[in-house]
Chain A
Amino acid sequence: MKAAAEGRLSRRAFLKLLGSTGLLMSVSMDGVAAVFEPEGVKDSAGFSPNAWLLVGRDDKVTIYCSGCEIGQGVLTVLPAIVADELDADWKRVRVRQAPVSSEYEDPVWESQVTAGSASVHHFYMLLRRAGAQARRLLVLAAAKHWKVPEGECRTRMGWVIHLPSGKRMSYGELALMAQSQGTKGQLVLKKEDRFTLIGRELPRIDAGMKINGKARYGMDVIVKGMTYCVMKRPPAFGARPAGMDLSGTSGILGLEAVFRIGDKVAVVADSPFSALKGAEGIKVEWKGARDPCLDDRKIEGILNRALHVRGKVHTARGNMKEAERNSFLIHESSYFLPYLAHATMEPMNCTAFVEKDRCRIWAPSQNPSAVLKAAREETGLDPQHIDIETTFMGGSFGRRFEVDFVREAIKVSSRLKRPVKLFWTRSDDFTHDYYRPANAARIRAGVDRHGCITFYEHRVAAPSVYYRIERSLLDDGIDPSAVESIHNSAYSFPALHLEYVWLKELSPPLGFWRSVGNSHNCFTIESFMDELSYRIGMDPLEFRLRNLKEHPRAARVLKVAAEKAGWHKGPRRGRGMGICQHFLVYTYVAAVAEVSLDADSGRLKVHKVVCAVDCGRAVNPAIVRQQIEGGFLFGLSAALREKVSFVRGGAATTGFSDYPILTMSETPEIEVHIVESGNEPTGVGEVGTAPAAPAVANALFNGFGIRIRRLPMSPRVLTGLLRRRDI
């Protein structure tokens, strides 16, 4: 109730303010007021035909959101789909985070997990049906009550209206009658031109809470009687504690317990500061690093050698030999990309309270099904004795798909039989991430005299992400993420040969990182296409369009991005302009970047970026643009500066000072154009990330004649390339 009251207060304050500053005209007021209700609010009595909604007798509509809010706006977008088909009054909608339950599983993945840019794509029809089902029952109940034909009734903003008589009843008034109303006949969904919320730029319901410091993140959980835990973690992957010296901890007030737990040492104290001091004071002797020689040089050597090895063939189609003979020009290039960290602003953490017959978990997790599984395995309790609250999250980008930090909290609480808030230091977060794998690629392709690709050969060498996460998806030893979006690229390849070299000897732990394999394959394919276009002397846009004949949607986003960026006018003096396109998570994206480069310092400035995206119907265009914009900057940050370093078998990168991420001064102006195609909605969360590196790399070649084949494009790399260009 508290949060609902706050929601109303802030709305009043907001209205008052807008009124007093004369801004009222420019803001549409309906749609501002749906609010988020945190755990612990009692359900009002009402009508609930399915797991997704409850129509209260008080006319409030509660909508359950299965998606986890990691910044992508899912708490606003998914409920709006239900509310639209229900014809609910958005001002009376209360959104709640769905509990962990099979009813809320992703219909495609059969698991409750928010990942792969899939929320809207996978839930769109299911949520529309949920809303439509409830609306139909309300209409049937009203028609029965009035003894009129169903066809004479309409719904609008939470009311059922009998058209001939003008009689109306609110959803709340009908709730009890609808509850006992049986269904009959076919469920009819709205015609798209009748949408009232889908397609509108509804303000995010979480914005006010976040601005006022009221959104509760994992780190913000405070439980009565709670203690704090920091883990001392092995400096090298696979190492385990062999001995401990606690003499450095004497005199630390509030230090409660130090114990070994698996390959770590748990330090428990009555305050976070004491736990951190304790962890600092303890000296641990570690033994058994998986690969004590792992360091940057070793990784580089493995990547360099990898491209000379034949891999497993993923796709072999068309006649390569003949295609080679028919080629006017054949070109080959190799690319190298580093390990990357997620570096979420909120470090990993979890709060757990395990009792004899009950377990409660407050988890900042994008993977509630995995949290439940971890809790069952760690405690042996049945699901009905496990309560999980999914909190807000300070970023995820794939990191919170993992539940390693959840298991740690459960283990420590089980042992102490007390509530425990376990948190990672920033250094833990960098040194024990599940990284985006380093990888290398060699591409070789031919074109005919008209600039049409004759054959395309692509070898990806990378360690496997799926080997640990889901081994069953390794297709005959081929990691599906490593080769994604190559075999199903929008380009027409009359002959295609795709190979994967599994770099088993690389030991850093791997995980999903925003856009996963697209984060490297978009860079390598689109850099290579750019090289081909220059080799054959064609405009990079024209060259791409010529080879995208089978995918008009890809061609269209390219044309829109080019037109909006002024591609045909070219870059301003002293700048370069680069273009690229990609197809991922069922969405088409294109980007144009305009850059300049200071030859002495190697300082690269990205001035402006124009993106065009066709994600089918944009359920909330404002959130689509926000995601593309943020996604692009995430990719740009990686392209310009990010690289995890390793030394003596573990990560050497320990903080933002040695893993600098993009700041405001490096942020370009970004324009996002949504290209409507009338298709069903598809992904956006990862879409902006993939094209960032190739758009900028291609712009550097266009303006300065240097070709980026190794990321990140640090000033040192850029000055080196410039020097070699001069010779």
Chain B
Amino acid sequence: MVPFLKEQFTQAGKFSMFIGRFFKEIVLPPFQFNEFIRQCFAIGYKSLPLVSITGFIMGLVLTIQSRPTMTKFGAESWLPSMVSLSLIREIAPVVTALICAGKIASGIGAELGSMKVTSQIDAMEVSAINPYKYLVVTRILAATLMVPILVIFADVVGVFGGYIGYNVHGTIGLQRYFSEVIEHLDFLDLLPATIKTFFFGFFIGTIGCYKGFNASGGTASVGLAANSAVVTASLSIFIVDMLAVQITDLFF
């Protein structure tokens, strides 16, 4: 039990130092702007199809599944606002972040893990290029900025999916549907939900980089790093979400 706890505290300490180094390196020049843009493209743009499909299905399914209950209570007209609120406040941020944990954290973990075990990171180090700044800072920053954008995109596509879902059994015009949605949306529905997505992105990027950067022991560790990155990032999303809900509840 004692060695297990010791190992857990050691890992927690190392992870904290890894995060601390990010905040130190991010303010020190040189800035790897080109690599940052490349990572934004890889993390953001290349995730759009996956996020679009997921967002659309979330809205569509949520509407179709909620409709019978809402009809039973005579609240069918509340369906657009109920679906959009559920999507924007909770479902779209968490599900999109989980999708990103699967795609981005595993991708970063595997890529950096592979670079680590094939000495590519060491090659950067001996070439006097700071691999942490070039590989880690750019990826964490890109994930932190791109995940919120992907979530907002998933929100919009999800609401549209809800419109399609509504029209499976009923009829409503696009303009009226969106009017219903916007009418019941408050600024305070959007703000906390958006703020927490920055934390989701930060942890997805950080955990992916940490697992990859610390891979050791050959090719098996690359798979392990990718797998561990997904599991830890997914868990961290739920923990951050729980904390965000508590904080939102406290202040708003």
Q: Are A and B a genuine interacting pair, yes or no?
A: no
B residues near A, CB below 8 A?
Answer: none
